[in-house]
Amino acid sequence: MILSKRPDIERFLRQPDAGVRAVVIYGRDIGVVRDRGHALAGKVVADPNDPFDVAQLTDGDLDADAGRLEGELAAQSLMGGRRLVRLRLTSDKGGPDKIAAEALVRHAAGELNPEAFLLIEAGNLDKTSALRKAAEKADGAAAIPCYEDEPGDVARLVRETLARDGVGLNADALAMFVARLPKERGVAKVEIERLALYLGPGSGVQATPADLEPFLGVEPEASLSDAAADAFGGRLAEAQAGLRRAAQEGEAGPAAVRAIGMYLGRLRRALTLAKSGASLQEAAKASGVFWKQEREFLRQARSWNLDELDRLQPEVLAADRACKSAGAPDQLIAQRLALTIASKARRMGL
């Protein structure tokens, strides 16, 4: 079964069909895949992180033991009742794809533990993928493709996320903010959360375009963009010099942190697209990298990985928040963040 229309997907995520034992959620936008995976996992078991009811596997587990997935699907819950087996595929290797497909077919046919639910989250599975074919054809299984959000989807995400924090945007401000957001949902959600912090959670503010101007600002000056690139390239002295130059040009610490966050977002989007099958050069272009900076950007993209970038993201958010505290040494905060990033880059060989 294929679920490709939004109403059908949302209905299924709210109330999964009783006859479905296995679901494959896949697509280029890993943020959407993860969101839908989390939503479905929460409907299958009370606590998706409970080690007694949930088994979490990756490509590496299948490479190490080809029978591990079927073994987990055959096992009974230690606490009794429903069991969730959650597999995350992040590589495009054929081995794990084939192993997962074979296990899905057996499980969907009822050959393993009928109380187990198989949830697989993957990148962009093409039409030749054995796993994708199996999920589309097998009774008792479903395939959910995920595409990049349309502007209307992004606007809804912004409204719903801000509403949970008791703030909002008027129609003009919403259109302005959505137009500036990156397409990849994971990066976009970070920017929305940053906006909620800026507006003040629980304040009831309904912001206008004028309210957003200090937050969005303009594209960072060349010195800030260069400083961010130097930091991610492991060139600390150059990054610090760029930040000092930007300060002399009137760019404060929050603008420097924002430039670093934007650069991290470009790297993250490029690596996400590359993991989904695009070439790094195509991914760089799609991430808005100017051709003159492409060579250096590609050099960095070959060394950084999504796990490292995800570990950096909270530090960027913390620096952004700290810069906006009254009396905070914002320039020092930005320089310390650049030092952290450059040090990580150097350890990775950049």
The CATH number that applies at residue 326 is 1.20.272.10
Q: How many CB atoms lie within 10 A of CB 241?
A: 15
Which residues are bridge partners to 169 per DSSP?
Answer: 207
Closest to 301 (Cα-Cα) out of 350, 343, 336, 243: 350
pLDDT tens digits, residue range 277-313? 888 888 888 887 877 788 899 999 999 999 999 999 9
Same domain (yes/no): 262, 307: yes
Q: Which of 101, 123, 146 is the last residue of a domain?
A: 146
* pLDDT at residue number 219: 44
Task: Answer whether residue 250 is part of any domain.
Answer: yes
Distance CA 189, CA 10 (A): 19
Same domain (yes/no): 26, 109: yes
Distance CA 113, CA 74 (A): 5
Same domain (yes/no): 232, 297: yes
pLDDT tens digits, residue range 250-283? 676 888 898 899 899 999 989 998 888 888 888 8
CA separation (Å) from 288 to 58, 95, 258, 292, 293?
31, 33, 16, 12, 10
Q: Which domain holds residue 45?
A: 6-146
With beta carbons less than 8 A apart as the criterion, state whether 135 and 23 touch: yes
Same domain (yes/no): 270, 300: yes
pLDDT tens digits, residue range 18-71? 889 999 999 877 778 888 999 999 999 888 888 888 889 988 888 888 889 999
| Two structure tokens written together for 198 | 């800026």
Q: Are strands 168-169 and 54-58 parallel, antiparallel or unpaired?
A: unpaired
Averaged pLDDT for residues 230-237:
93
* pLDDT at residue number 184: 67
Q: Which residues contact 102 (CB under 8 A, 6 or more apart)?
A: 130, 134
Same domain (yes/no): 21, 138: yes
| E-state strands within the chain | 22-27, 54-58, 83-88, 116-122, 141-146, 168-169, 206-207
Please give the tally of structural domains in the chain.
3
Same domain (yes/no): 205, 318: no
User: Nearest 10 degrees: CA dihedral of 315, 318, 323, 325?
Assistant: -160
pLDDT tens digits, residue range 128-157? 899 999 999 998 999 999 876 666 778 888
- What is the value of pTM for the model shown? 0.53
Same domain (yes/no): 138, 157: no
Task: Answer whether residue 1 is part of any domain.
Answer: no
* pLDDT at residue number 130: 92
| Two structure tokens written together for 38 | 């989390």
Task: Answer whether residue 49 is part of any domain.
Answer: yes
Same domain (yes/no): 11, 129: yes
Same domain (yes/no): 142, 169: no
Task: Answer whether residue 227 is part of any domain.
Answer: yes
Same domain (yes/no): 42, 123: yes
Q: Which of 146, 172, 204 is the last residue of a domain?
A: 146
Task: Answer whether residue 50 is part of any domain.
Answer: yes
